[in-house]
Each structure stands twice: as structure tokens, then as C-alpha cells.
């Protein structure tokens, strides 16, 4: 793996920030296997004389000034992308912000998690030690948000403000995420000859899902953020082992816009069920939409302008740990971090280090203003 070149014009602080990022990306941390990366993050805080520990869920906790809680996730999705730093023509570098990388060439870090979300994670850690803000690196965000859910239950008091780390581009501020409901449809019917006209369980599953899709079908011009998006994830069906029945199961997810609640979406989908079928709903995350006029959003707009940027206000069609925090804490929050979110989970995931530097500067300024 290539080392980050600090050069003669880079400050020591910038070099340290880049080194932390490269180290974190260089340590694989697929969900449920985050420990080694968590230990590296813990070491970074120890080297800056900060109180820090790894809690029972595997989160890295570095409490300090709760005027701001900086948090991002340690885990990544699977995928082997050789970790390296390369110098490339600027035009070949994905730039998460509204402009292009400066200059003719740019240093680029390749590796799984460079964008989602170790770029945001490292920038949060650096800003925390520079400003004295509280920090938590959470686990499990890519699967079930078990880290953030543990934090909600374990903390005695909520912070005054939350900055959640996900790629928004250095000049972007994410204010909203859709919610999520997920479950498993289950149906059973008596076995019989295929010449019979009655529906079997497989047909019931197909019909139920077709009704759900029709219910939430919208005009193609309606923004995705404002739609319910139903998606089947897995389907299985056939004769039972004893040959006496036909069984069908279907794992489904529906993304929920802020105009609806997860309960409303479940009620609608359950309305198309027959007596012999059901859905076991096992995951519910409420949507979130923050005002652009909160003190946190204002602090970021000012910090981005200070770096000669034009702030962009974003709404994301997926979900994040911000949904979990917003459901339980009544404090202002935004999501922010370097990187082009189109590269999330992608085979060519990479982050320009110039953009990372800008994000660290923006984050540090915004945090100082809030503290």
C-alpha cells in the first residue's frame, strides 16, 4: 500500500489526518468484523490524550463536549479493492462536491470504505480531537444499525447537536433520509394438481406483491425521495417436505418518504393479505427530514462558504444512522462527509484526498461554531 506523501507544502496536521484515513481504509471492517479497525481508531484518540473505550456493542466511544456529537460508522460492505494512493489527472477523479478537483493532478485513495464511510469517519475523528467534541464510531450500520441503537439505549442524555458521517460531498449537507420497513411474506396452500384453477401459495405471493406495487405506483415525475419504493429482496417457494402443501416466502423492503410513517405503509400492505398469508415485519426505521434553518445547518452553510463553496442541501433516498438518532433524540442534526455517494458499495470506490482535506476543514469550522 502506498504511503500518503506529505510534501513540503502540507502541514503536519493535514498529513496526520490523511494518515489516519489511509490506515482505517487499509484495515478490513466488514459488518460484524470491525474490531481491528475499531482498535486503530481507539489508538488515534489515545495518542491525543482523549478518554476512549470500545463498548459492549463494539462502538468506539470518546466522550467530551456534548455540545456536538460527531459520529460515523466503522463497518463496510464486502468487496476487495486493493488499497493504494495514486496521483491521477484531475478529470479522472470522482469529486463529491459541486466542482472539479483543483489543479492538473490529484491524489486519490482507493479501497473499500474510502467513501462509505471511512472518509467521513476519519474526518469526524480528526475534528473531534481538534475541537474537543464528543465522538462515537459505530458498528453495524450497513446491516441493522446495532451500534447506533445500542448508543441510544446506553447514553444517559442526548447531545445538543449531532453530525452524522456519510458521503455528501464536501459542499453538501444531507437533511433528510427516507425510512424503511422490511419483512418476510409467508403463505401456505394445500398441494394439488397443477391443472386445478385455484391459486397456490406461490401465486398468492405474486398477486400480493403486484397489488403492493400497484398501490404505490406514482407518476414518473414525482421525486424518488417523495415516493414509497417497494422492492422484493428474495423469494422462495414450492412443495413442502411432506408433499402436502405449497409454501412461499418473500423477503421485501419498502422505503418510506417523510410524508408517511412506517405504520401507515405496513397498514396499507397488510390490507392486501388474504387469511392464509401474513408478513412478519422485522425492521422499521422512520424517515427523517430536518429543517435547513437549524443551528447545525446554518453552521455548515457558513463553514462551506468559508472554503469558497456553494452549499448544497440534499435529501437521500436510502437510510442511515441519522434516522435512528432522529427517532429518539430531539436535537438538530445533519449528515455530512467527503465523497461521491454514487461510489457507495461500488467496485471502483475511491476518494480524492483534496476533497477529504476540504471536508476536514469544513467540519472543524462548523463544530467550533456549534461549541
270 counts as catalytic: no
For the chain, how long is the longest CA-to-CA vector? 80
Catalytic residue (choose from 34, 75, 116, 204): 75
CA-nearest of 353, 323, 355 to 85 is 353
3 counts as catalytic: no
3-state class of 48 per DSSP? coil
- DSSP per-residue string spanning 126-187: HHHHHHTEEEEEES-TTTT-HHHHHHHHH-SS--S-EEEE----TTEEEEEE-EEEEEEEEE
The secondary structure of residue 242, as a DSSP letter, is: T
Residue 30 burial (CB count, 10 A): 16
Catalytic residue (choose from 34, 107, 116, 141): 141
| CB proximity list for 143: less than 8 A, separation 6 or greater | 31, 32, 75
Angle at the Cα of 96 (from 95 to 99), degrees rounded to 5? 60
Q: Which residues are catalytic?
A: 75, 141
Amino acid at each position: 500500500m502506498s504511503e500518503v506523501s506529505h510534501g513540503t507544502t502540507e502541514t503536519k496536521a493535514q498529513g496526520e489526518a490523511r494518515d489516519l484515513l489511509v490506515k482505517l481504509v487499509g484495515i478490513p471492517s466488514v459488518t460484524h468484523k470491525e474490531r481491528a479497525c475499531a482498535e486503530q481508531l481507539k489508538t488515534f484518540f489515545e495518542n491525543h490524550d482523549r478518554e476512549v473505550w470500545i463498548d459492549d456493542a463494539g462502538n468506539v466511544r470518546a466522550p467530551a463536549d456534548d455540545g456536538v456529537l460527531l459520529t460515523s460508522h466503522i463497518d463496510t460492505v464486502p468487496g476487495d479493492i486493493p488499497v493504494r494512493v495514486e496521483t491521477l489527472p484531475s478529470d479522472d477523479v470522482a469529486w463529491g462536491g459541486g466542482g472539479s478537483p483543483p489543479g492538473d493532478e490529484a491524489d486519490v485513495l482507493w479501497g473499500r470504505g474510502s467513501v462509505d464511510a471511512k472518509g467521513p469517519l476519519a474526518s469526524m475523528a480528526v475534528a473531534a480531537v481538534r475541537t474537543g467534541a464528543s465522538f462515537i464510531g459505530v458498528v453495524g450500520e450497513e446491516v441493522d444499525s446495532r451500534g447506533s441503537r445500542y448508543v441510544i439505549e446506553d447514553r444517559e442524555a442526548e447531545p445538543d447537536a449531532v453530525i452524522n458521517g456519510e458521503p455528501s460531498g464536501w459542499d453538501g449537507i444531507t437533511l433528510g433520509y427516507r425510512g424503511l420497513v422490511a419483512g418476510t411474506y409467508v403463505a401456505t396452500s394445500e398441494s394439488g394438481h397443477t391443472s386445478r384453477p385455484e391459486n397456490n401459495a406461490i401465486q398468492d405471493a405474486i398477486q400480493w406483491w403486484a397489488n403492493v406495487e400497484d398501490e404505490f405506483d406514482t407518476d414518473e415525475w414525482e421525486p424518488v425521495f417523495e415516493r414509497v419504493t417497494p422492492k422484493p429482496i428474495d423469494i422462495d417457494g414450492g412443495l413442502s417436505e411432506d408433499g402436502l402443501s405449497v409454501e412461499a416466502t418473500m423477503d421485501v423492503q419498502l422505503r418510506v418518504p417523510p410524508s408517511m410513517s412506517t405504520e401507515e405503509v405496513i397498514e396499507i400492505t397488510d390490507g392486501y393479505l388474504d387469511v392464509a398469508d401474513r408478513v412478519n415485519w422485522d425492521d422499521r426505521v422512520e424517515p427523517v427530514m430536518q429543517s435547513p434553518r437549524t443551528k447545525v445547518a446554518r453552521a455548515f452553510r457558513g463553514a462551506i462558504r468559508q472554503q469558497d463553496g456553494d452549499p448544497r442541501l440534499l435529501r437521500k433516498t436510502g437510510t442511515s444512522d441519522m434516522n435512528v438518532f432522529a427517532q429518539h433524540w430531539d436535537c438538530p442534526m445533519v449528515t455530512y462527509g467527503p465523497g461521491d455517494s454514487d461510489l457507495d458499495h461500488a467496485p471502483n470506490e475511491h476518494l480524492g484526498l483534496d476533497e477529504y482535506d476540504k471536508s476536514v476543514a469544513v467540519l472543524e469550522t462548523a463544530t467550533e461554531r456549534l461549541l
